[in-house]
Amino acid sequence: MRKSYVVWIVVVLIVASWGYNLYSHQTNRLPEGRFLSHRIEATASPGDAFWLYYITNNDDKRLPLSVSIEGLSALQFYPVSEYMTFRNQRIYRLIGHFNGDSDDTPFGKAPPLTIHSVDVYYSDGTRGKADIGEMIVYRGDWASGGSISQTNSSSSSNGTQTAAFQVDKPVTLNGFSSAFLNELGSTFTYELHAGKEAVVFPQAVEADESISFISNFHVPADSQLYLQPVSMRLRLEYSDADGTERVQMIPLERQPYPSEAAIRAYVKAQRGATE
């Protein structure tokens, strides 16, 4: 009698294990692979690069083989590589890189391009447009040869990113902007100093003075923002002594580093949006 109880308990445990895991497997699946919702600023200048992140189920064989953006032939994407693995999903990423062919990046004042989707060729032979969030490509107004030159930049494991600049000739700092500053709100903080003083625009900065910039992203634990890659090109606007208006770009990256719980919440939200 005791033995039959044991056998039944074992059978129930095995059936429960398969039942729970099959249910969990089904309810933790993304309806389909997709790009994360990015916030990207890029300059259409040779050498500028950014990452695109793609999330899919672990057993999904359909991956983006190549990506292109209409009207930006100078932008090329490298093949996808694995970035992070979770219980049911994987995040892949591919780097987008502006090469030297600047046919479509005219120098001079050209309005920024706003891009929401990319053309994707998948490993199963299909093609399609895929939403990537928001990408703004600045064209032609990053004129070099100004009076400010970057001397140093660093980033630490706690997310703090710093940059330092040397002022060669007197300048007036007029403003500081990014397309995503308002959207990021309190999740992104920064400090800008000229010498030892905090900058108040407009601010005159003498030659040989240094400008320092320190920033950090503050993303609450398990927030969906963990799954939002951010690639900013902060624009420090200034004018030279002769009145020429220029922009010093400060590149900033925040790579997604989601927890298992954040991934589960993301999948749940995506499934809810699909149903």
Residue 25 vs 193, nearer CB to another protein? 25
* Residue listed under structure tokens 């090469």: 99
Q: Which of 31, 32, 46, 58 binds another protein (CB under 8 A)?
A: 58
Alpha carbon distance 205, 76 (integer Å): 39
Q: Which of 87, 116, 129, 268 binds another protein (CB under 8 A)?
A: 87
Any contact of residue 259 with another protein (CB under 8 A)? no
* Cα separation, 115 vs 135, whole angstroms: 5
Binding segment for another protein (CB under 8 A), chosen from 7-15, 146-154, 179-187, 237-245, is 7-15
Stretch in the footprint of another protein (CB under 8 A) among 11-19, 107-115, 203-211, 241-249: 11-19
Specify the stretch interacting with another protein by CB under 8 A; choose among 84-92, 104-112, 202-210, 229-237.
Answer: 84-92
DSSP letter at 26? Answer: H
Are the C-beta atoms of 77 and 119 separated by less than 8 Å?
no
| Interaction of residue 151 with another protein, rule CB under 8 A | no
**86, 142, 176, 213: which one binds another protein (CB under 8 A):** 86
Closest to 110 measured CA to CA, from 143, 135, 149, 156: 143
Q: Which residue pairs, CB below 8 angstroms and at least 24 apart, start in 268-273?
A: 269/224, 270/30, 270/31, 270/34, 271/27, 271/29, 271/30, 271/31
Residue from the set 2, 4, 5, 59 that interacts with another protein by CB under 8 A: 59
Does 12 interact with another protein (rule: CB under 8 A)? no
- CA dihedral angle for residue 49, residue 54, residue 58, residue 60, rounded to 10 degrees: -120
Q: Would you count residue 25 as binding another protein (CB under 8 A)?
A: yes
Which residues of the shown chain bind another protein in the complex (CB under 8 A)?
Answer: 10, 13-14, 17-18, 20-22, 24-25, 28, 58-59, 85-88
